[in-house]
Structures are given as structure tokens and as C-alpha cells.
Amino acid sequence: MLKDLPAAAGPGGRPTDIIAPLILDFLQWLDREPRTYAEVMDAWRTSCPRLTVWEDAVDAGYIARRRADPGCVLVEVTARGLGLLQAAGRA
């Protein structure tokens, strides 16, 4: 499952190892306690187009958003994301 981690394209379109560890860090952080969408965006926002941690985690199905209350959206690690953490020895 670790081979399925997305990686940013480096020079010549080759994947780099920059994104994979960041996605694992992100999932591990999310798994510790419930986080609101606003909290996640504040902590993991980036203006660097090469660091697409949020987008890659969403696209790969590692995280999901869930409406908890009116006006409150939680971001949670999915079963697929938990499996990735376990495969990486981080769960």
C-alpha cells in the first residue's frame, strides 16, 4: 500500500519522495483527535504548488470530510488512510 502513495513530480516528471512522508505525517496528525476543516486548513495550508498534501490525501481517499453540526465540518482519516498508517508502522 505504501507504493500507492502519491508523490510530487520532480525534474523530468519523475516522482520524488517529498510528498509521501508528509501525507503520512498529515494522516497521523488527523488520527490523534477530531479536527475541524478550519483547523486542518490553518495547520496544513501551503502556497507551494509542489506540496499538495491535502489534495493528494483527498484524491487517494485517505481522508474524508463529514458534517458534524451545522457550520462544523470534521476531517477524518478513512479506513484506507488508517490502512496506510498501519502499513507504514505509524498507527
**CATH no. of 2-87:** 1.10.10.10
The 10s digit of each residue's pLDDT in 23-78 is 999 999 999 998 999 999 888 877 777 778 888 899 899 999 999 888 899 999 99
pLDDT of residue 6: 60
pLDDT value of position 55: 86
Dist. CA 11–CA 64, nearest whole Å: 31
Question: What's the confidence (pLDDT) of residue 79?
Answer: 96
pTM of the shown model: 0.81
Domain boundaries, the chain: 2-87
